[in-house]
Structure 1
């Protein structure tokens, strides 16, 4: 038999809130809240791409190509290039004809334990919703 979970305390609740909270946006790469250029350093580039995908595409929720491109355009200077980068990085998958995109990975920018479809911070609206 397993031990019962420890009782809730303010310290435990604060720790859980910290662990389950999304990571802050990579602000040093944003200009007035938009991504103008991808960072050159691979680790920074991957961080920014994970942030972008978490802002726009819910996990396991297909998004049409046009809706995704329009949502990306609100957040990045080169929406088509970033969409391609997201696919190449394995953060987005797509149908063979490119009509729909979806995400299967949870990132540090997702709100864990929240209802599906809630994003990291008050970023741009998600496509289709």
Structure 2
């Protein structure tokens, strides 16, 4: 049963459009990840964030008006979108961890000659004698 808000708009259709927008942004972000284009990934991430914020505002307004913004179908679509987003986040975290490991191999941490061996230096031994 379609709910109508005071402005005569079909709430289910409006909320469906927001969910469709989220799904479209996720698809565009998937494409950007596939190409590996950092600028496209950043742009699509920002657009997804903006779409999520706009959708959240619309959902909250509908709830405040006493309407039920999400029916069963929209809830399941949002759960699928959430799963897609979590998978994308996991992929980003794995890539970041891989980059960190590679950088640690390429640029190993070196101990500073000034402070790194303080416990071994003759000065440190002399200072420890007075403690």
Which TM class, normalised by the smaller chain length?
Answer: under 0.3
State TM-score, norm by structure 2: 0.26
Please state which structure has a larger fraction of its residues in helix: 2
Please state which structure has a larger fraction of its residues in strand: 1
State TM-score, norm by structure 1: 0.26
Whose relative contact order is higher, 1 or 2, with alpha carbons under 8 Å and at least 6 apart?
1
